[in-house]
Chain A
Amino acid sequence: MSKRPELSQMRRSNWSLRIVAAILSALAFVGFWQAASGAPRNAPTPTPTPGEFAPPTPGSGGVLPPGSFGAPHGGTHVS
């Protein structure tokens, strides 16, 4: 009779550990994903400051600063 509560307690303890481990794993995965993607999903919407467009390196795949790209093939303007 006395072993039943202990077994039950151990099972509960095991389950608690499993749940904690699962939560930690999930958090670790989210952290890894955020670090890998560079885009934290739950971060507040960033408020950029004017002039913010990096990296300013031609060919980097980013926005090209004026003077770095010569004559463009086309231009977009208020239409």
Chain B
Amino acid sequence: MTRLLSRHLRGMNTEFHLTVRAEETSGAEAERALEASAVWLGEVERTCSRFLPKSELCALNASAGSPFTASADLYAVVALAIAMAARTGGLFDPTILPALLAAGYTRSFDEIGQREIGVATSVATSWHSGRWRDVALDATTRTITLPAGVALDLGGVAKGWAADEVAHRFLRAFPAYLIDLGGDLRAHGEPEPGKGWIIGVEDPRAAPGPGAPDRAEEPRYLAGVELRDSGVATSGSARRWWLRAGRRMSHLIDPRSGQPVERPAGERALLACTALAPSAMEADIYAKVAFLRGYPAGLATLPAGIAGLCVFADGTLATLPGLETYLRAQRQAHD
């Protein structure tokens, strides 16, 4: 007899949901693993958040121009972020922080989301694309050296990385688990025999309006996918936005221009891209990359082993045959 044990918590300005399938005899062990996961996720936020002035990331950014000896976790996520910048040709760029500040994303999204922030809240910065190439890493001493004027934002990678780490560090002994860190998910196993984890692709048009909570109470789903060993994440400009002097700004910066992605217009506008990948970190990053590349190039250029799905303003979806192949492989691996 097995059962599903869950833990809900809030972190990184979003909701976390952890679910573990445990045997009747291992319930206490699962509870301890969930508790350890929750504690560790709190540590990740204190390490990687740019909104906590005492975070290790803020200390790293303040050290730009000099070598900084990082903790194992910060070094790991920064090294991964730089590696993914290289893999994506810079379409994912962790050195985007100055551009985010210039767009007015100076405080946590809880404070600025879906409201007017005024032009004075932005920070004049100079940002040049491709500075991730200048970040120096020394794995033997865990030293990170940011060039002067370069600062990191790990918001685009930390949740996906953390989901993978929770899976590896705390939950891998269990036959099935689902780690949902604010819509970036890592699934493993089957919650009940013969059935994978059903993950709904939320309708981005249900994103709340000005002054509303970050997330609709009852999400609407445009599609579902059944996963057994996969990461999944979604990116777009529909949900996380604010107004700056009347202009709608998105948290999604295009590294090619340094500007927030423009609000899409028209019924055929691309609203969101969902990526499925072997890890939540890859799904997190390639969802952004696919969205930035647009449709259909964003889907057609996904690397082997990663699949995607696009959602348009009229509520229709599009994908390539690779997604069906990916989903069938998920099923066949457990048959």
Contact = CB atoms under 8 A, between A and B. Distances in A.
A21 to B, nearest CB: 33
Given A53-B223, A61-B226, A69 B318 contact: no
B207 A78 contact: yes
A67 to B, nearest CB: 9
A79 interface: yes
A55 to B, nearest CB: 8
Nearest to B327: A61
Contacts of B317: 50-53, 63
Interface in B300-323: 300, 309, 312, 314, 316-321, 323
Contact of A39 (B191, B198, B235, B321): B321
A53 B318 contact: yes
A5 interface: no
Given A72-B198, A78-B239, A51 B321 contact: no
Most buried by A among B19, B233, B236, B317: B317
- Where chain A touches its partner, the secondary structure class is loop
Contact of B274 (A45, A47, A68, A76): A76
A78 B318 contact: no
B202 A77 contact: yes
B225 A64 contact: yes
A47 B318 CA distance: 10
Contact of B198 (A48, A49, A65, A69): A69
Contacts of A54: 324
B253 to A, nearest CB: 14
B159 A63 contact: no
Contact count band on A: 20 to 34
B289 interface: no
Contact of B199 (A46, A52, A66, A72): A72
Contacts of A51: 316-318
B47 interface: no
B296 interface: yes
Given A62-B328, A63-B223, A69-B198, A76 B185 contact: yes
A63 B221 contact: no
Interface residues of B, number: 62
A60 B200 CA distance: 16
A77 B204 contact: yes
A73 interface: yes
Contacts of A73: 19, 178, 191, 197-199
Nearest to A48: B318
B331 interface: yes
Contacts of A70: 198
B319 A48 contact: yes
Interface in A1-48: 39, 45-48
B281 to A, nearest CB: 13
B235 A75 contact: no
Interface of A: 39, 45-55, 59, 61-66, 68-70, 72-79
Given A63-B223, A74-B180, A78-B238, 17 more contacts: A46-B321, A48-B319, A53-B317, A53-B323, A53-B324, A63-B317, A63-B324, A66-B220, A72-B198, A72-B224, A75-B200, A76-B183, A77-B204, A77-B215, A78-B183, A78-B235, A78-B272
